[in-house]
Amino acid sequence: MPLRIIFMGTPAYAVPTLQALHEAGHEIVAVYSQPPRPAGRRGLELKPSPVHEAAEGLGIPVFTPKSLKSDEEQAAFKALEADAAVVVAYGLLLPKPVLDAPRLGAWNGHASLLPRWRGAAPIQRAIMAGDTTTGVMIMQMDVGLDTGPVALTQTVDISASMTTGELHDTLAGVTAKLMTDAMARLERGELPVRVQPEQGVSYAAKISKEETRVDFTRTALDVHNHIRGLAPAPGAWFELQTGDRAERVKLLASGVVAGGAQGEVPGTVLDEQLTIACGEGAVRLLRLQKAGGKPLSAQDFLRGTPVAPGAVIG
């Protein structure tokens, strides 16, 4: 028989999993998502999350509590009498009474090869660290931060030019397929779990505003990984002096230049193709975006904003 599932998720990343479970015939008795957020130019509108909107489109009741810590919220969750809870990028910690409520437990689709990159930003952190492999794990949740036993795993290669946006979309599809497989096995009583290794633990802290600015004193490879790890959002950036003001420019794509630069001050523009000296080597900026503008190739960017060789950016 199909499972009675409570689905818990918020961003676009989680939508394919919700849709896949629904298409597989499971009874999604409720969806939990983060509360609607201010949107629009003035922030006067409240916009539901992508998961919220998808659930409404499927005719599934949606709940958006700010917290699950109260006795009332926990009682309401338990009253749904779910067989399982499926959690994908929900954004709230689940207290033990919530984890214990579903008959067959709570299951999380996590976008890393645990125990590497536990936490909030595993996709960005993997690319920023220069990892060449990541993946998705289906994990039975406990009260720790991504510490529960793992049921299913699928690895995914990270190419040298792949951005967080590209990897995000790939892993979202993998998560949907793997979670659907996991719930089918759980339904049959054939979903064994294994304890996570104690070695190799790392944490994927949420991306802070302070770390998004590009530091050209780092190696070219580090700078390149930083740029692609934050693309398209929140976006790595630098300041460009235009006239008497400094203008912020977001970087969306780059490449490491063979040979690099010798003895140049980091941040120096080396040529008319936006090759920039780094602490070691050089990067070529390939796609840029001014505040309020649209993304442009380096060639198109330079047509509207000349940047002379010898200038220093940062």
CA 186-90-105 angle, to 5 degrees, is: 25
Cβ atoms of residues 29 and 5 within 8 Å: yes
Cβ atoms of residues 149 and 139 within 8 Å: yes
Distance CA 127, CA 121 (A): 10
Sign of CA dihedral 60, 63, 69, 74: negative
What is the CB neighbour count within 10 angstroms for residue 69? 13
Is 104 part of any known ligand binding site? no
Cβ atoms of residues 18 and 54 within 8 Å: yes
In sequence order, the 6+-apart residues with CB closer than 8 A to the CB of 44 are: 38
Is 38 part of any known ligand binding site? no
Omega cis (within 30) before 36: no
Is 251 part of any known ligand binding site? no
What are the tokens at 288? 């840029």
What is the CB neighbour count within 10 angstroms for residue 244? 5
Is 50 part of any known ligand binding site? no
- Residues making up the annotated binding site for (6S)-5,6,7,8-tetrahydrofolate are 112-115
- Residues making up the annotated binding site are 112-115
